[in-house]
Amino acid sequence: MPAKIKAKVAVDAMKKAGLNPLEPYKNSTTKWKCECLKCNHIVYPSYASIRSGQGGCINCAGMYVDPDSAEVLFLANDLKPLIKYPGASKPWKSTHTVCGNEVSPTYTNIRRGHSGCKFCTGNFADEGKARNLFIARGLLPLEPYKSALSKWKSIHQECGREVSPKFNSIQQGGSGCQFCAGNKKIEESEAKQLFKSKGLEPLESFPGTNLRWKCRHTKCGRTVFPRYSSIRQGNSGCGYCAGNVIDPEAAANLFRKNGLEPIEDYINSATPWRAIHINCGREVSPNYNSIQQGQSGCGYCAGNVVDLDEARKLFISRGLIPLEPFPGAKKPWLCIHSQCGREVFPKYANVLDGSGGCKECSINYVNPELALEVFRSANLEPLEPYPGAGRGWKSIHTICGNEVSPHWGYVRKYLAGCKYCAGKSVTEKDAFDIVRRKGFSPLEPYPGSQTPWKMIHDKCGLEVSPRLNSLKYALEEGSGCNKCADSTFNYIAPAIIYLITNSALSAHKVGISGATKKRLQQHRRENWETFKTLKLDSGEIAYKIEQEVLEWLKEAFGWTPYLTKTEMPQGGYTETIDASEIDLATIWAKVVELSKAKKIP
């Protein structure tokens, strides 16, 4: 299960991408209010988008459209906006000044060269106008009008034949009669008149309706090659001004703005363009469209593309010796961890982010100097070299002078570690007095407050093994005796111990239930997934293993219940564990170890 992203890691990543967070980090997929340090605009990228290589600022990436610039484009295309600019992909209510009709084209379509007026392009017409146009062209409709793109049964009055032309073909200059039309020739003077009305000055003789005609666009001065049929349908004729064709110099400027230096001529917006990424010096080939949409352009720096030699060098520098060919940045790579000799399966992306690669060593390793500093700050003076995070460290508590052996995880969390000062250690005489007052008769010497202690419950005669701590603070009659306690759990019948996890809550839970597994069904309804279960001879054995696992978590990692009662309506929150602190396999290994120690088959 992936660990939670630490807030500091996320903040550092945003700042590295040129973004200054303006509010606390929530999670990797939530939009995060930031200030772009390059343009000072407020933007809302997610940490996940930055981690995947996106730019984060739509203004700097060229994705943001200024309302004033949008209005200039509309006015240049004979469209007068009637409302405020709604966004690039939303209909913008306007008046087409050529015909006076109200239309609602989008900025994106106008930028691509569409005319914006469905009336003038023939995509829309009311029946009256459509009928008048047909009659003017010598066509007498025989049925009601359907739509501009539907065939309309008519009589061609010149030849008397029945034909079925579409309104848009008649509106674009078609004769409507395939029998009489033949190959109608458009006069050059007529074609020139249409082109000049669109700001296009022909530079050669008219080649025909479906061939490209070399012209100069008077607005921008560029040489373009539109077809007569395209202009007749309402297109502008200049791909540069419409935004369909990118000026090579403008494309190069966008690449340089994003740290990319082109090393070949620009072809078009969709073709890979070889360039050098200034930050890392590698040759990459992003296309213009991907950079314009906010991507970084360098798959190496984004972690999506990996240099095999660099990957191997990185792993070796972290003490990881690869045993197989590189499988990819996001797949486990079989290695030997040279420090401990274990076979491990780290991912390149995780090691690149700073992970050590060996879960076992990352859990148990603590810098001895740091451990000594923390122990001394808790008034504990060690008597031996640091033994590791999973073992007690023999020390003297300088406040009371007693010798104690607290674990690193407990001292780190609570800055305490003396069981005598905490009231956790009692003499054997006090221990016998406590259990006798609770109605029990010990069968063996006092083993310690945390160790099960064999005794007879005087009330029912059952031999039980409660811990002194559980009896000392018990309030209910029968506490400490499985038979007499008020519980729905059967300590005598077979039972299971289970380990479950919930990715949404980032939590694990160890628990016990009867052999019917009804308890697991309750957890499953609350989106918990079962990792492992182990069947045991009795509920008492299951309970003992569960308690010993929790005690181990407390001593080794400073564990306390991770979730609250409201987060687990089905109950059981007191045995929940933070998933970012320890993985499922490590917990289950402890369960198996304890079960074998009790000689459970």
Domain boundaries, the chain: 7-51, 67-121, 248-302, 308-364, 368-414, 428-472, 495-597
Which of 130-134, 153-157, 204-208, 475-479 bottoms out in mean pLDDT, i.e. has the lowest?
A: 475-479
- CA torsion 427→432→433→434, rounded to 10°? 90
pLDDT reported for residue 323? 92
Dist CA 364 CA 285 (whole Å): 44
pLDDT reported for residue 83? 93
For residue 182, pLDDT over 80 is answered with no
Residue of 508, 514, 518 whose CA lies nearest to 496: 514
Tell me the HSE value of 284 on the side-chain side, using a 13 A CA sphere. Answer: 29
For residue 486, pLDDT over 50 is answered with no
Which of 308-317, 327-336, 461-470, 577-586 bottoms out in mean pLDDT, i.e. has the lowest?
A: 461-470
Which residue, chain included where needed, has tokens 């023939």? Answer: 122
For residue 482, with 0-12 CB atoms within 10 Å meaning exposed, 13-18 middle and 19 or more buried, which class applies? Answer: buried
More confidently predicted of 269 and 379: 379
For residue 295, with 0-12 CB atoms within 10 Å meaning exposed, 13-18 middle and 19 or more buried, which class applies? Answer: buried
Between vectors from CA 337 to CA 333 and to CA 341, what angle results, nearest 5°?
Answer: 125
Residue of 291, 284, 297, 283 whose CA lies nearest to 254: 291
pLDDT reported for residue 309? 85
For residue 204, pLDDT over 90 is answered with yes
Strand 576-578 versus strand 102-103 pairing type? unpaired
Cβ atoms of 198 and 187 closer than 8 Å: no
What is the pLDDT confidence band of residue 21, given thresholds at 50, 70 and 90? very high
Which of 84-88, 179-183, 302-306, 594-598 bottoms out in mean pLDDT, i.e. has the lowest?
A: 179-183
Which of 8-22, 51-65, 182-196, 397-411 bottoms out in mean pLDDT, i.e. has the lowest?
A: 51-65
Rg (CA), the chain: 39
Cβ atoms of 410 and 428 closer than 8 Å: no
Give me the mean pLDDT over the 256-265 stretch: 91
For residue 250, pLDDT over 80 is answered with yes
Give me the mean pLDDT over the 496-506 stretch: 91
Long-range contacts: 562-571, Cβ < 8 Å, 24+?
Answer: 562/507, 563/505, 563/507, 567/505, 568/526, 569/526, 570/522, 570/523, 570/525, 570/526
pLDDT reported for residue 122? 57
Give me the mean pLDDT over the 401-419 stretch: 82
For residue 472, pLDDT over 70 is answered with no
pLDDT reported for residue 459? 83
What is the pLDDT confidence band of residue 92, given thresholds at 50, 70 and 90? very high
More confidently predicted of 25 and 5: 25
Give me the mean pLDDT over the 268-280 stretch: 87
Give me the mean pLDDT over the 269-284 stretch: 88
pLDDT reported for residue 334? 92
Q: Which residue type occupies 114?
A: H
What is the pLDDT confidence band of residue 487, given thresholds at 50, 70 and 90? low
Residues 6+ apart with CB under 8 A from 390: 364, 407, 556
Which residue, chain included where needed, has tokens 């992970």? Answer: 355
Which of 305-314, 322-331, 480-489, 506-515 bottoms out in mean pLDDT, i.e. has the lowest?
A: 480-489
DSSP H or E stretch at residue 277: strand 275-277
Q: What are the tokens at 247?
A: 């000026």
pLDDT reported for residue 322? 92
Strand 495-502 versus strand 463-464 pairing type? unpaired
Cβ atoms of 273 and 267 closer than 8 Å: yes
Distance separating the N- and C-terminal Cα atoms of the chain: 29
- pTM here is 0.31
